[in-house]
Amino acid sequence: MDSLIDARQGPTLVATAHVHVVPPARRFVLRGGSAARAAAERALGVPVPQVACRAGADAQRAALWLGPDEWLLLMPAADAAGEEALASALAGLAHSVVDVSHRQIGLIVSGPAAIPLLAAGCPLDLDASAFPVGMCTRTMLSKAEVVLWRTGAREFRLEVWRSFADYITQYLAEAARGIN
């Protein structure tokens, strides 16, 4: 059994000039109606978007719209208070909250090459006029589904399933060879 990788450690990813691994985070998928959305917004202190493909965030927490009644909630790994506040606020409301922290890993793609690097494998128009700061969506990057969130003029956050993280980082490293 020595050849098995400890799943709790996750993949070993190497940062590059364009791609950095996000510190460990808590990730929850919230499903519910307008009452659950509003309660989560009050509990987390960040806007939980009502508008399609938008994110609400502060320096520590974020809520990304994934569907008409679905949001990805992000907070620091040590933010047990955020999880407790969320659970308390949602008590008694029709909703579903699933902890997907173990499933995903976050990556930051940044710098002047961020758009061409992502465009090498993403079918979306990533120009700021079509995909402005604060926009997020599920999409494909090469052959893997990701959640793509534009966090700055030249910065994007990717939420990737842990099992695809090594593939995505290797894909981006290879794509960067053609950009440099």
pLDDT digit string, tens, across residues 7-48: 455 556 656 778 999 999 999 999 999 999 999 999 999 999
C-alpha closest to that of 40 among 85, 98, 79: 85
Determine the CATH number of domain 19-179.
Answer: 3.30.1360.120
Residue 91 has pLDDT above 80, yes or no: yes
- Segment 51-90, tens digit of pLDDT: 999 999 999 999 999 999 999 999 999 999 999 999 999 9
Domain segments of the chain as ranges: 19-179
CA separation for the pair 20, 117 (Å, rounded): 14
C-alpha closest to that of 43 among 2, 112, 95, 101: 95
What average pLDDT does the chain have? Answer: 91
